[in-house]
Amino acid sequence: MSERVIALQDQRLRSLLPPVPARPIRADGLLQDQLGRPLRDLRISVTDRCNFRCGYCMPKAVFDQNYTYLPHRALLTFEEITRLTRHFVAHGVRKVRLTGGEPLLRKNLEILVEQLARLHTPDGQPLDLTLTTNGSLLKRKAQALKDAGLHRITVSLDGLDDAVFRQMNDVDFPVADVLDGIEAAQAAGLGPIKVNMVVKKSCNQDQILTMARHFRGTGIVLRFIEYMDVGATNGWRMDEVMPSLAVLQHIHQQMPLVPLQASAPGATAERWGYVGSNGQHDSSLGEVGFISSVTQAFCRDCNRARLSTEGKVYLCLFASQGYELRELLRGGASDDDLTSAIGAIWQGRCDRYSEIRSILPPDQRPQTGRRIEMSYIGG
């Protein structure tokens, strides 16, 4: 089968030329990759900038005042993002998450939200439209985002102790302002709200119970994330990872938990509910989640694609290369070409980094190039 390839210039990370098959790939919502995984979730990075310098994501030693970010002309416009998203939705995407960097730093983001909120799945259902933020700008943005059509929000928060939180974000940002943002999001009706806490030994493990007690019974779902080896700049070491099982046991000793069913196929978080006086899950007390990509790989169920802020598609959070779509967009590609290119990219997918890491010793793992950074593609 012959293929047409659009030439492009190399960018900050290695990227592949997106093939446009001579025989079009029809968008029927049944697209699968090499391991039989459907395409259901699209995560869109709208900026590579962030106003925090969390050590596990954008350490200040690397992302200092001399760091060169992508120029504005390189970023996808809102119209380009919406056009690409439409084709992903035609192939089966049901959930779209806006991320970054810190997505609320992207000027007029509510315009993009409004455009995406108009999209519907082939069977007429609205997208599950959500956003992940560090919460620093949420207080003044929450209502506008809700009015534009955003459904839900996830806030990254690594501790409630102000000194710990300031140390973690490394820009001396107060935790009270993030909590005010969460309150504003609740008042605006952006829910259910989720709060993500990355647990790193020696940094914030003493905040686990504090966070659990604070959010228990509030309707906010607290999720604990294992410190991950994303990118090459965060100095990741396995001995700094606190396994989810240890976090679960720590909470369970003080506030008993029972396992809950997964919220949806391909969900990354394992759900546990707080136990009431009758020994069963008490829904009024809520639940916690555990995302264990280091100790319990969930590659087999992964149904996510990631679109970078300048139009590269990545098929794994731990990828070392992406597929360039921006040049197709700006080169006059037809809708059929874009649909087929996205279909061909997903059909060729066989990524399962975390699974391989968990079963093979380091010296037997496949060698890859420099992996993308968390700040570049979002979590």
C-alpha distances (whole Å) from 338 to each of 26, 92, 118, 366 are 11, 15, 20, 31
The confidence score (pLDDT) of residue 233 equals: 57
Q: Which of 351, 274, 361 is nearest to 320 (CA)?
A: 351
Range of the domain at 178: 3-377
Do the strands 128-133 and 95-99 form a parallel or antiparallel pair, or are they unpaired? Answer: parallel
Report the alpha-carbon distance of residue 157 to residue 290 in Å, rounded: 15
- Tell me how many domains the chain contains: 1
C-alpha distances (whole Å) from 12 to each of 182, 258, 273, 324 are 34, 45, 43, 12
| pLDDT of the chain, 379 residues: tens digit per residue | 344 333 333 344 556 777 788 889 999 999 999 999 999 999 999 999 999 999 888 889 889 999 999 999 999 999 999 999 999 999 999 999 999 999 999 999 999 999 999 999 999 999 999 999 999 999 999 999 999 999 999 999 999 999 999 999 999 999 999 999 999 999 999 989 999 999 998 889 999 999 999 999 999 999 999 987 665 555 567 778 899 999 999 999 999 999 999 887 777 889 999 999 999 999 999 999 999 887 877 788 899 999 999 999 999 887 878 999 999 999 999 999 999 999 999 999 998 766 676 665 655 555 555 667 766 777 6
Query: Are 104 and 49 contacting, i.e. CB atoms less than 8 angstroms apart?
Result: no
CA 12 to chain centre: 20
The confidence score (pLDDT) of residue 168 equals: 92
Which residues are CB-contacts of 359 (< 8 A; sequence separation ≥ 6)?
none
Do the strands 322-324 and 312-314 form a parallel or antiparallel pair, or are they unpaired? Answer: antiparallel
The confidence score (pLDDT) of residue 300 equals: 85
The confidence score (pLDDT) of residue 358 equals: 60
CATH of the domain at 76: 3.20.20.70
338 backbone dihedrals φ, ψ, rounded to 5°: -65, -45
The confidence score (pLDDT) of residue 320 equals: 78
The reply to whether omega before 259 is within 30° of 0 (cis) is no
Query: Are 287 and 271 contacting, i.e. CB atoms less than 8 angstroms apart?
Result: yes
Query: pTM of the predicted model, to two decimals?
Result: 0.90
Q: Half-sphere exposure of 129 toward its Cβ, with a 13 Å CA cutoff?
A: 24
